[in-house]
Chain A
Amino acid sequence: MFRPFEHIGRKNFLLMAGGQLLFALVAWQLSPGGLIPGPLRVLEALGQLLGSRLLIDNLLVSLLLTVKAMFYSILITLIFSYLSVVPFFAWTAKLLVRLRYLTLTGLIFIFTLLTKDGGALKLWLLVFGIVPFFTTSFLSVIARIPAQEYELCQTLGYSRWETLYEVIVVGKADQVFEIVRQNFSIAWMMITMVEGLCMGEGGIGTLLIKYNKYNDLPHVLALQVVVLGVGLFFDYLIGSLRRWLFPFIKK
């Protein structure tokens, strides 16, 4: 258990991880935290949130916005990534990749001028934040495609556009799901940030800011637990959907 590269069974792994988690929670509860609430207080706050419509309403607002942003981001990413193998468009995809070094701070005012309302502002800020990461991931998938995949298409008499369709569009469709799964966390992390910019429509980010403003740490931490749980659920959901849609990946 303490030796490098030692293989342990799933049951032992779960027991070990559960034990460590339990130990951390007990240590947290027993530690003199001062202002930091213990796990029982966080659990109590979570119970209150789950019992009210406040959480579910705000969660749905955030989820809807995330799903919309993901949809547009995937669409933009795929268009530019697929076209990245066409020399005329290659630089655009490369530029998108470089844009991930930009920070949204300072650009928010420009986005405010370009969008018609708060909802659109949040949506396009998210899209702007997500697309460079999606594009980076997908371009690396395209770069790793072995020459043999293109060559098999060529030897079968496929044109260049048919080769692009077969090898990149069809052949890497499962990778799109994997990228969405891996990058969903970025979108989900950003949602709390952009929701703070326009609080009128609510959302889990708005709720977090409100509780944070009044130093209601039990509720803040309870919301963090919800954010983490929803993130993990989507991670599992997208992974399962990928395995179901593309059975060859588990063969």
Chain B
Amino acid sequence: MTTYSKQDILLQAKGVCLSYGNKCILRDINFMIRDIVRPGLQQGQVVSLVGRSGIGKTQLFRVLSGLQKPSSGNIIIRERKPAETSGGVVQVWQERAVHTGDMGVIFQNYYQFTWRTVHQSLMLAARKNKLLAGREEEAIREYSFRFDIAEVLDHYPAQLSGGQQQRVSIIQQLLKGADFLLLDEPFSGLDVCVLDKVTELLLQVSLSDELKTLIIVSHDIATAAAISDTIFILGKEPGREGSTLVREIDLMERGLAWRADVRQERAFAEVLAEIKACL
């Protein structure tokens, strides 16, 4: 089994509820995402949030991104910030409630501004990243080569293929510099070949930084589970209004995380059956 340990809390949902008028959509959502450390590796986190259509996944996605304020409860993020001490500058953990703009958000259809070229769109994001100040061009060039979109930098979104649009969306949010990347239904409407490329790309992103955390909201259970280390299942409890997290499945504990051939495993099929039973 792969050696790993769960360290500091990176994100925590505390008693999140969301209601529209008298209608309860989300109820008492509590979970936390911890920094997973694997010796000798730069390992980020990949968390999936699965549930049936119409269960409130998108609402939770919006709450996590800060686009929607919860009716009660909050989403806390923890970041490592440099702080002056007598012994010099050290990295300390700071926690605060999530705000819009804290997380990189990749929408379902990989929406980009139709009036901006790929380069202009990426520059819009890079300019917001203080760590890139003065070397935005260099960063755009680096990412565009790494994700194979260098040839379409002067293209408009309408001229891009679905895969290219997706890569542009991901690079844009990476350039913004957020540790958290929220992806809404990233596997929706993709054919089998593109699906493999997408999962590969997401894994590549998760390995780019120790604190990089991908939160995937999807109803494609098998694909989401295959690349995740943790799965949260959003569902309903009998006799209670609103959706809540009904189960957390730790795939690391079961030896099913970070494995390219995981789909061939019998244990993986059992996990899928377990998830389906919860929906």
Contact surface of A with B, Cβ cutoff 8 Å: 148-149, 151-152, 154-158, 166-167, 170-171, 173-174, 246-248, 251
Instruction: Give chain B residues whose Cβ lies under 8 Å from the Cβ of A248.
Output: 114-115, 156, 158
A81–B128 Cα distance when bound, in Å, is 27
Instruction: Give chain A residues whose Cβ lies under 8 Å from the Cβ of B125.
Output: 156
In this complex, the member of A157, A171, A174, A247 whose beta carbon has the largest number of chain B beta carbons within 10 angstroms is A157
Chain B, residues 100-132, CB within 8 Å of chain A (1/0): the string is 110111010001111100000000110010000
Is B159 an interface residue when CB atoms closer than 8 A count as contact? Answer: yes
Residue of B nearest to A150 (CB): B67
- Nearest-CB distance from B98 to chain A (Å)? 12
Q: Are A251 and B124 in contact (CB under 8 A)?
A: no
Interface size, chain B (Cβ < 8 Å): 23
Q: A149-B113, A246-B115, A248-B115 are in contact. Are A155 and B103 (CB under 8 A)?
A: yes
A170–B107 Cα distance when bound, in Å, is 22
Q: Are B101 and A157 in contact (CB under 8 A)?
A: yes
- Nearest-CB distance from A159 to chain B (Å)? 9
Looking at the complex, which one of A148, A155, A158, A174 makes contact with B115 (CB distance below 8 Å)? A174
Instruction: Give chain B residues whose Cβ lies under 8 Å from the Cβ of A151.
Output: 67, 105, 107
Q: Are B128 and A166 in contact (CB under 8 A)?
A: no
Instruction: Give chain B residues whose Cβ lies under 8 Å from the Cβ of A155.
Output: 65, 67, 100-101, 103-105, 173
Instruction: Give chain A residues whose Cβ lies under 8 Å from the Cβ of B103.
Output: 155
A170–B114 Cα distance when bound, in Å, is 11
Instruction: Give chain B residues whose Cβ lies under 8 Å from the Cβ of A251.
Output: 156, 158-159
Q: Is the interface of A mostly helix, strand, loop or mixed?
A: helix
Q: A156-B176, A171-B115, A246-B115 are in contact. Are A148 and B107 (CB under 8 A)?
A: yes
A247–B103 Cα distance when bound, in Å, is 32
Q: A154-B101, A167-B113, A174-B115 are in contact. List 17 more A-B contacts (CB 8 A).
A: A148-B107, A151-B105, A151-B107, A152-B105, A152-B107, A152-B113, A154-B100, A155-B100, A155-B104, A155-B173, A156-B176, A157-B101, A166-B113, A170-B115, A247-B156, A248-B114, A251-B156
Is B45 an interface residue when CB atoms closer than 8 A count as contact? Answer: no
- Nearest-CB distance from A4 to chain B (Å)? 30
Is B243 an interface residue when CB atoms closer than 8 A count as contact? Answer: no
Looking at the complex, which one of B67, B101, B114, B158 makes contact with A156 (CB distance below 8 Å)? B101
Is B230 an interface residue when CB atoms closer than 8 A count as contact? Answer: no
